[in-house]
A = this chain, B = another copy of it.
Amino acid sequence: MSKHVLLKGIDIYSEGQLIQNGYIKIIDEKIVEMDLLTNLENEEEFTIIQVPSSYKAVPGFIDVHIHGVNGADVMDATKEALDTMSSTLPKEGTTSFLATTMTQDTKEIEKALENVGEYLQEKQDTGKAEIVGVHLEGPFVNPGKAGAQPLMHIIDPDLSLLKSWELLTNNMIKLVTLAPERPGGLEMINYLSTHGIVASIGHSDATFDEVNKAIESGANHVTHLYNQMSGLHHREPGVVGSVFLREELKAEIIVDGVHVRPEMVELAYKIKRKDGLILITDSMRAKCLKNGNYDLGGQDVIVKDGKAVLKDGTLAGSILKLGTALQNIITYTGCTLADAIEMASVNPAKQLNIFDRKGSLAIGKDADIVILDENLDVYMTFCRGELAFTKGGQ
């Protein structure tokens, strides 16, 4: 397909406004024009795509917490695994993501990091989801809130180790999930926040006071709200209460109806509003595959009925698609599509400091565009100007 593309007659969810019956001109990787269809001139030289008038163009989704999909996992530490993820994710509307590692033997983590680092040395193909960095989930977490992070590999925050890992990835670590209450936690948070890396409180048993210290040190993000964190009590708010109380914290949330009950998604939205939540999948390799047994960090995971669980029943990542999360949060909270886009695209881009080129539909930005049909199902996805997925296509 040509790199001159014209999307015609579509409702465009651009920054802050809805352009009804509009058009978008894409040249190479960028959006170059966007306006009402009545203002369209110079259609020549463009490949024209015209969709039903009820369809909507929205910014591509950004998944800051995803381990795997379609049989591949970041911990496989292969180019093929990352290729598989990048090629598969546009089907669910994801156009950018953080390759997310998990708690493992440090050698395994290092292999995975080195692999991503090498992958990112070359310019990534258009027409695939873009890896915009690494999310390091563990190993610096609290053994008491391990969840599916293997206990034996959890270690205390180790700044010199982290620095060596940054080198392995050529400084592409963009988000670190850690437990601030562990020895060295605050020091690491301070380092991260002063080096442009998001410090995220997660797999943590922190008290309200400990969370406040983490915020003072620069933490501004929370990993999968509610899951694997100290709960709310009226004399100890815990991490959950802290998220409700402190606006500095943006909260990831897994809106699959399994990790968090729909009403509790509603409550999080009621308190944090659209600016405070970030939709993630936390998905593992079984997504897009059949029910069965799969590996997650050397552990057996059973996937059945929309759930992925360890043998003891512990939830072990999800098989959620980000496009489904978008639909779910609208259903659960009654928010608008525009609000949901904030949580799926705008907020993660801002949090990762890439909002200058991603996260919204605007002239000059990457043409990461998802077209949703009348049911808000993903109909087409463009990744940096190139068509990456068409519903019903091959």
Q: Which residues of A contact B (CB under 8 A)?
A: 208, 226-227, 231-237, 240-241, 244-245, 259-261, 263-264, 266-267, 270-271
Contact = CB atoms under 8 A, between A and B. Distances in A.
Contact of A245 (B232, B237, B241, B263): B263
Contact of A266 (B232, B240, B245, B259): B245
Nearest to A260: B234
Contacts of A271: 270-271
Contacts of A245: 263, 266-267, 270
Contacts of A240: 232, 234
Contacts of A237: 261, 263-264, 267
Given A234-B260, A237-B264, 7 more contacts: A226-B234, A227-B234, A232-B232, A232-B264, A234-B264, A235-B260, A241-B263
Q: Which of A235, A240, A260 has the most CB of B within 10 A?
A: A235
Nearest to A234: B226
Contact of A261 (B227, B231, B236, B263): B236
A237 B266 CA distance: 11
Q: Which of A231, A244, A260 has the most CB of B within 10 A?
A: A244
Contacts of A227: 234
Contacts of A231: 231-233
A272 to B, nearest CB: 11
A260 B233 CA distance: 9
B241 A208 contact: no
Contacts of A263: 208, 237, 241, 245
27 contacts: A208-B261, A208-B263, A226-B234, A227-B234, A231-B231, A231-B232, A231-B233, A232-B232, A232-B264, A234-B240, A234-B259, A234-B260, A234-B264, A235-B261, A235-B264, A237-B261, A237-B263, A237-B264, A241-B263, A244-B267, A244-B270, A245-B263, A245-B266, A245-B267, A245-B270, A270-B271, A271-B271
